[in-house]
Amino acid sequence: MGSNFVSTNNDISAEIQKRILAANRCFNGLRKHLMSHVTSKDTKILMYKVLIRPVLTNASETWTLSKIKERPLSLFERKVLRRIFGAKQENGT
């Protein structure tokens, strides 16, 4: 993916967006398996942890995240986990 892009004012928004797009491409490539009823949830979680999350978080240990910058990463993660576990309502029904 090349080097990390951090602007002169320490804004990593473009890098975060680039990572989300790359992870989304990976997610879409695995969609058939993640949506399959034959693939177990444990296998789907493993696929997420091993194949998708590293694309999303590569070199992220150098990022300084605010809540605003962290939100798109959390939204992407929830999207993937909803595909794996299905939609759940908060009241449990």
For every one of its 93 residues, what pLDDT tens digit does the chain have, with 9 covering 90 and above? 445 555 556 678 888 999 999 999 999 999 999 989 999 999 999 999 999 999 998 878 778 888 888 899 999 999 999 888 887 666 655
Token duo for residue 93: 């029904």
C-alpha–C-alpha distance, residues 16 and 34, integer Å: 23
| pTM of the shown model | 0.77
C-alpha–C-alpha distance, residues 14 and 81, integer Å: 24
C-beta of residue 65 within 8 angstroms of C-beta of residue 17 = no
C-beta of residue 16 within 8 angstroms of C-beta of residue 69 = yes
